[in-house]
Structure 1
Amino acid sequence: MAHREFDRENERQATVVQISQAPLEHREQLMAEYRARSEAAFAPSTLRNYRMIIRLFVAWCTENGHNPKPPVDPRVVAEYVDFLGGKIKSTTIECRLWAISELHRSHFYPNPCRHRLVELALMGVKRTYGAAIGQAPPLGKADVLAVIAKLGASRRDMRDKALLWIATDSWCRASEIVAFRVRDIERQSDGSSLLFVHRSKTDPYGQGAYAYLSGPGTEAVLAWIAVAGLRRDDPILTKSQPNGKIAPLHPSSLSRILKTCTNRADVSAHSTRIGGVHDALRLGCDLTSIMVAGRWTSPEMPARYGRKIRASQSAAAMVSAAYIGQKTE
């Protein structure tokens, strides 16, 4: 397998070299087609992020006397990594390297980010500044239910109740939550519902998946739909003002609403997703069922979200409980 991957990389590099030596007119045609196909292949948010990163890289190169036009010398990219170290997270640096790699792919030049000097620069940054990934604080079911209980019956409160129920029941990402439309609710015989997730971060091609919505959550969402007069194709979560334009909320609005409802500045729209994992681990749910609930394609993220809970449930915690009576989570 490793040999085949090695051969595939050699073939890819050979193709890049061959194209780089082609006549200028042919290269320009390929680059134009690459740009057009990228517009269809990548999500709009990905393209916006890519363009922003390239603008930042070009500005840095200009300020430091480097030519930002591909092909960029790997030593320049390594110097850029050194410059970013300690200023932004290592995962963000990796994202910037992806954009520089994509810039070179779009021009059919060898990728300087694969050069060993760049790899060593990134390793050095991680070793010096750490590679820990920040995590939003969890908002578990009990936290959210306490917030819902304090909300009243105003139009805004009813919208916020629907939002909170969807967030705490479905474990969906902010982009998925704001994308739900009335037609995506599928009622179940026990009073609960399924929410159809058309597209997500881990499902860019729209195979679709389902998220759970409890009985009380379904009642709150249907009550909001009735008050807002939403139709089948309308987004479920809209602005709460009456007679306003019916349009989906922006994902960033979810974090703002959660901060307002909980009166906490540290939470975000991801907090209910992390809180769901914490609750599940406390209840003894296995990692596979957690992956299904959150629609993760690998155990890496839910395991990372639950590392504090899993430490308190570890063999060390069990031994302590057995010998000194210390309670485990």
Structure 2
Amino acid sequence: MNRDFYRIDERLAAAVQLAQNPTVSREHVIEEYRRRSEAAFAPGTRRNYRQIKATFCAWCEDQGFDASLPIDPKVVAAYVDYLGGKVKSSTIETRLWAITEMHRAAFEATPCRDRLVQLALKAVKRRYGAAVRQAPPLGKKEVLKAIESLGDSRLEQRDKAVLWIATDSWCRSSEIVAFKVKDLIRQDDGSSLLYVTRSKTDPYGDGAYAFLSEAGTESVLRWLEIAGLKSDDPMLTKSQPNSKVQHMDPATISRILKRCTGRKDISAHSTRVGGVHDAFRLRCDLSSIMVAGRWSSPEMPARYGRRILASQSAAAQVSAAFSEV
């Protein structure tokens, strides 16, 4: 059975129930929904939702549209038209999610399921494309070169630990800065495992493991000793001796990578993409790549590696075979 059917059925039942309740009871349920949403959504999601809501309401006011709920589907379709070409289609979809959540919070039917809105979104995708920009790859060879160029100062020792974790583990920046000292699990061969408590795709904390090489482990241990960090302390902190021991901001990982490599085009996600590129060049199978990056489906690693896969495709192999004839 389609689970969406049950979700729609449940929402309709909730709407009918609220319609039959007195105003005081309705306001109580809406307030409870708001409170539970605060607990259910990640801080970043809540912050993004509030920002999108404010931006949309401001746009409605500028255009002379009524932003009171429920919002007319024609207004939302016009908003999609306005966003077309200004932001990515994936960003438009995120904004439609926020508008839907505005209606769910008030137990009103969302206009985003209306055919007018869906057609507007399809038209924008057809006209402007739906491609998602991929972070430029930063492979192992380039990272190792950057590590070799660093000296032994306190800052450089910290940066070495960051670079090793980023290139070995393929972790997202939010995962890297969340590591605590106790999340480093030593192995008999000198390498280690990093325990990923939770992540973007694991909001409920089932947990996962990432790899850290022997050289990477030595670098991290050296930094922990220099910084005097304890078991419950963050693994990566500010490099200043007297600074407060706290988790770094995820954006700091990107700044460190840019500074150490001299590249301005990369981000913290570049080592994740670069790791996939290196793996495909080494002919690693897709299942092992999924394990390394903790992906539950092959879609993202295949998307990251499509440039490499094209050069390894049947067409490339046939060309190579016949060039030798």
Q: Which has the higher mean CA deviation after the structures are superposed, 236-245 or 13-22?
A: 13-22
Amino acid at match of 2:18: I
Q: What percentage of residue pairs aligned between the two structures are identical?
A: 66
Alignment of 1:52-201 (within 5 A): 52-201=51-200
- Structure 2: gaps of 5 or more residues: none
Write the distance in 2 (CA, Å) between the matches of 1:287 and 1:86.
34
Q: Deviations over 1:287-324 (max 9, x none)?
A: 11111111111111111101101111100000110011
Q: Secondary structure at the match of 1:236?
A: coil
Secondary structure of the corresponding residue to residue 108 of structure 2:
coil
TM-score, length of structure 1 as denominator length: 0.96
Where 1:194 maps in the other structure, the secondary structure is: strand
Give the AA of the match of 1:248: H
Q: Give the equivalent residue in structure 2 for 1:224.
A: 223
Change over 3 Å in CA distance of 1:5–1:88 after alignment to 2: closer
Q: Residues 76 and 20 of structure 1: is their aligned pair in 2 closer, same or farther, counting only changes over 3 Å? A: farther
Amino acid at match of 2:139: G
Correspondence for 1:317: 316
CA RMSD after TM alignment: 1.4
Pick closer, same or farther for the CA change 1:5–1:55 going to 2, 3 Å: closer
Secondary structure, aligned partner of 2:92:
helix
Identify unmatched segments of 5+ residues in structure 1: none
**Aligned counterparts of 2:88 and 2:154: Cα–Cα separation in 1:** 40
Q: Cα distance, 1:61 vs. partner?
A: 0.5
Give the deviation of 1:19 after TM superposition. Answer: 2.1
Cα distance in 2 for partners of 1:5, 1:70 equals 23
1: distance between equivalents of 2:15 and 2:277? 47
SS for the counterpart of 2:185 is strand
CA deviation string 1:252-278 (max 9, x = no partner) = 011011111111110000000000101
Q: Deviations 1:2-51 (Å, cap 9, x if unpaired)?
A: 4x744652453343244245322121111100010011100011100000
Match of 2:248 in 1: 249
Q: Secondary structure at the match of 2:284?
A: coil
C-alpha change, 1:234 and 1:11, in structure 2 (3 Å) is: closer
User: 1:278-317, aligned counterparts within 5 Å?
Assistant: 278-317=277-316
User: How far 1:207 moved relative to its partner?
Assistant: 0.8
Q: Cα distance, 1:282 vs. partner?
A: 0.9
Partner secondary structure for residue 147 of structure 1: helix
Cα distance in 2 for residues equivalent to 1:6 and 1:270: 36
Flag as ranges the 4+ runs of structure 1 deviating above 4 A.
none
1:20 and 1:109 in contact (8 A); partners too: no
